[in-house]
A and B are shown apart, each in its own frame.
Chain A
Amino acid sequence: MFSSRALGRAKVAAAVAATALVLSACGSSDEAGSTPAATTTAGATTASDAVTVDGSPESSETAGATGGETTGGSQAAGEPGIVTITVTEADGCVASPDTVPAGPITFNVTNVDAAGVTEVEVVSEQRIRGERENLAPGFDASFSVKLDGGSYEVYCPGATTERQPFTVTGEAAVTTGNIADLLQQATVDYAAYIDDQTGFLVDATKPLVAAIKAGNLEEAQKAYATARVFYERIEPVAESFGDLDPAIDLRIGDVEAGVEWTGFHPIEKALFEGKTTKGLDKLADKLMADILDLQARAKELGANTSADTKGADRYKPDEVANGAVGLLAEVQQSKISGEEEAYSRIDLLDFEANVEGSTQAFAVLRPALDEIDPELAKNISTKFDTLQALLATHKDPKQIGGYTLFPDLSDKDLKALADALAAVAEPLAKISGKIATA
């Protein structure tokens, strides 16, 4: 069900009255009647684009000076809440008003002069319910979140006063998706993705084994490239079974003395460097057995996850997030350097597969992340799109694997790929910390 990339591209459908947000950030209460946080898509909180640059030093100071007083005022029941959060070096984080009715709430944040404060969060019982990152002194930002009645804190990490109590009265007008439920669903979705991919891996390895045994070099080379894709997409799961990844994916330089070199890469060496299928039967059988083992173990993890079995070995949301980052780290470490596929030189195919696996892990987490920080989710999604588009420019159907071979990439190509990769990895690495506390 997750073989489509569409999940990673899900657009935040709701439009935002950005102008209204900007105006209200400057202290106007006339806009309170608009509905800045209205959403049209279930589960998707609106992402605000209302990032503004102050018109002048004076306007920044004005916003700071008035922000702590009466901005926003008291809202009548049923109106969407607008809260101004003013961050200063002297006083830390001040939310005004500090009590609003349940429902959609827009937080307009002004960092007046707190150089050490980079983000603001709305937290309840250690769970992040909404947040905005990348704050800087002299800049405004805003975020919207739907809150049920209850006690919250406005948390500005690193501020002089970091936490301020914040109260939401009554019940929420629209019940939001429970983040914990969304995260459980994310692990179930991820399990389904892994099951699909391990299935494809098994299906792709069979023709590789058959071609080797039939002595058909050309077919074996093609089958090798096909099978690699499915393995590279799910590598973090394979790595979680300590012994399986080394058996399947060890490179020659990592083989300890006295240990037999097995898996994909000795086969790759024979097929692409030795140009032969001879003597590979045993290695091919062992690879098939290890991959079937991988499939069986992944299935068990998946079943435990779907059943939400407490205490059992299962996928966890932060592990899915870390896996997404881990896949990009794989690229940074061994694909961008051309070390992974030393003989076949299809490193860019592995690169694409790692990125695809990472994209899908992000995609399953996205509904939960959209609740916590839609701006971050949108940013990651955009950066994934950029990276995928850049990779697509290196497609070459004439090559085994369908991409330009590694030695044919220029230094400029590699720098552009590395830069695009880092642009995803940096925000992606923030997810795990957000959902671990969610």
Chain B
Amino acid sequence: MTDAEPGTEAQNDGAVTAATSRRRFLRGSAIGAAGVAVGAAAGFGITEAVRPAETKVAPTAFEIESARANRVVDFYGPRQAGVVTPQQDRLMFATFDLTTTDVDEVARLLGRWSAMAARFTEGKLLTDAEVRPGAAPYDTGEAMDLGPYSLTITVGFGPSLFDDRFGLKDKMPAALKPLTGLAGDSALRPELSDGDLCIQACADDPQVVFHAIRNMSRAARGTAVLRWSQLGFGRASATGAGQSTPRNLFGFKDGTNNIHADDTPALADHVWVGEESDQDWMVDGSYLVARKIRMEIEQWDTDNISDQERIFGRIKTTGAPLTGGDEFTPIDFQAKDDTDAPVIDIASHVRLSSPEENNGIRILRRGYNYTDGQDSRTGKLAAGLFFISFQQHPDQFRVLQNRLGSNDSLNEYIAHIGSGLFACPPGVSASGDWFGKALFT
């Protein structure tokens, strides 16, 4: 069934299968949908799909939605899912402050989270146990009757986990030093930054990601508290080969040159931590950077198209570079216009973030568009990009952000308001293993 998923066969983790779920989407209508392209489901509303079989709904669409709902991304594996997994449509990201000072309680929480993640990603409830009439339900229930929707749960450890509280100081990777003092950090808000632990939940359904974070934060009560969290409503990157490049809320295709899941050499060179790490427990892990980037939507909307395209360095409609061709045509950074000025502006986003201009540095972007509705005081739309990237070393992000933060023309229209760096340990190998076991034992 993975034949339908371009690129997924090349990886041995985050593999996507249309496995059957105990909690089957559309009860009683288990339609195998091998061969149905994922992309074709885009834009097809679930309400159209959820009709009794006897009504005249195009069976293809029904199958597509059913397959999308039932698709399972393997949780167990040598590396965590949710990194090179073809990017799902929805995100909930959350960070936690530990309130316990007992390292065994931290370990046990990670054990509970691993068990929950294993079940939720298969579309199962927290447990199959019967609830006694006098007891509160084990599982909060809002994902019942929904499929797994390619849910992935990715867990990371913030620099603060390695302070004096838990005796983990000696196991802190040198790479995990806090992300401070970057260009453009002046608007960062502490209450939207950092945390001892983080969870990235991604799926093709918003309620599935919410359910996962809700139940995992419930399991944390008494051990850890939510510090900040973010819902993302539309993927703003493409990580699967064959996935179309989505648009950010400025209306531009962003991240065309992202590292894709089938680019194994690039993943090894830029994303996964290898033997070079000073901490064995991080081998096959990756460093996650999260940045909440507010967009000054109203200002952007008044900027003229030529300026918008100059800022990005791409044509808004097609995503092609200003130097010509189509979206995936290599960019000619040397090209000059008839006034001898660079066609790709020296302060353009595409130039400043390109590997060509940054000694070949690349990162895997996995961000989401977000909105928190309106700013309660100004009435402006509170929206932007919830940037997430995975890299072998946080310095990859540091270099790029220092460049962008100092020079990017886009800075006039954005502000980084939240930030976090987390060390994501390797995958959970099987039940009985858990997130970061090698760190704690």
Interface, chain A (partner B; CB < 8 A): 51-57, 60-61, 64, 89, 112-118, 134, 136-139, 157-158, 162, 318, 379, 383, 415, 419, 422-427, 429-430, 432-437
Contacts and interface: CB of A to CB of B under 8 A. Distances in A.
A112 B119 contact: no
15 contacts: A51-B104, A52-B104, A113-B430, A116-B119, A116-B124, A136-B114, A137-B431, A137-B433, A138-B433, A162-B129, A383-B222, A423-B99, A423-B221, A426-B222, A433-B132
A427 B104 contact: no
A157 B136 contact: no
Interface in B130-158: 130-136, 138
Nearest to B430: A113
A15 B94 CA distance: 39
B23 interface: no
B327 to A, nearest CB: 42
Interface in B388-422: none
Contacts of A432: 134-135
Sorting the interface of chain B by its residue count into under 10, 10 to 19, 20 to 34 or 35 or more gives 35 or more
A118 B134 contact: no
A435 B135 CA distance: 10
B166 interface: no
Contact of B225 (A113, A419, A424, A433): A419
B169 interface: no
B127 interface: yes
A115 B119 contact: yes
Contacts of B119: 115-116
A138 B434 contact: yes
A139 B132 contact: no
Contacts of B130: 157
A182 to B, nearest CB: 17
Contact of A426 (B111, B129, B218): B218
Nearest to A136: B111
Nearest to B75: A115
B126 A116 contact: yes
Contact of B433 (A53, A57, A118, A433): A57
Given A60-B432, A117-B127, A436-B134, A427 B441 contact: no
B433 A116 contact: no
Nearest to A56: B441
A422 B111 contact: no
Given A118-B138, A136-B112, A157-B127, A112 B218 contact: no
Main secondary structure of the interface of B (DSSP, over half): loop
B216 to A, nearest CB: 13
Contact of B441 (A55, A157, A422, A430): A55
Interface of B: 99, 104, 107-108, 111-112, 114-116, 118-119, 124, 126-136, 138, 218, 221-222, 225, 429-434, 437, 440-441
A352 B70 CA distance: 48
Given A118-B127, A158-B129, A433-B134, A51 B108 contact: yes
B437 A57 contact: yes
A158 B221 contact: no
Contacts of B218: 426
A53 B441 contact: yes
A379 B222 contact: yes
Contacts of A434: 134-135
Given A54-B441, A137-B115, A139-B111, A433 B128 contact: no
B432 A112 contact: yes
Contact of A113 (B127, B129, B432, B441): B432
Contacts of A318: 134
A435 B132 CA distance: 11
Contacts of B115: 115-116, 118, 136-137
Contacts of B225: 415, 419, 422-423
A50 B114 CA distance: 22
Contact of B134 (A114, A116, A157, A437): A437
Contacts of B136: 429-430, 433
B211 to A, nearest CB: 16
A115 B441 contact: no
Contacts of B437: 57, 138
A138 B132 contact: no
Nearest to A138: B432
B118 A115 contact: yes
A43 B281 CA distance: 46
A228 to B, nearest CB: 28
A134 B430 CA distance: 19
B398 to A, nearest CB: 30
A54 B132 CA distance: 31
Nearest to B225: A419
Contacts of B108: 51, 53, 134, 136, 139
A117 B132 CA distance: 15
B128 A53 contact: no
A53 B107 CA distance: 8
B127 A136 contact: no
Contacts of B221: 422-423, 425-426
In order of increasing CB-CB distance, the 8 nearest A-B pairs are: A433-B135, A157-B129, A136-B111, A436-B134, A158-B129, A113-B431, A158-B127, A115-B115
A162 B114 CA distance: 22
A124 to B, nearest CB: 16
Nearest to A426: B221
A115 B441 CA distance: 20
Q: Which of B116, B129, B130 has the most CB of A within 10 A?
A: B129
B104 A57 contact: no
Nearest to A436: B134
A264 B137 CA distance: 36
Contacts of B133: 433, 436
Contacts of B124: 116
Contacts of A162: 129
B431 A115 contact: yes
Contacts of A425: 221
B128 A116 contact: yes
Contacts of B99: 419, 423
Nearest to A157: B129
Contact of A138 (B111, B138, B222): B111
Contacts of A54: 441
B308 to A, nearest CB: 37
A116 B132 contact: no
Contacts of A138: 111, 114, 431-434, 437
A427 to B, nearest CB: 6
Nearest to A51: B104
Contacts of B107: 53, 139
Nearest to A425: B221
A432 B134 CA distance: 6
B36 to A, nearest CB: 30
A17 to B, nearest CB: 18
Nearest to A416: B225
A209 to B, nearest CB: 40
Contact of A427 (B111, B134, B222, B434): B222
Contacts of B430: 113
Contacts of A112: 431-432
A15 to B, nearest CB: 18
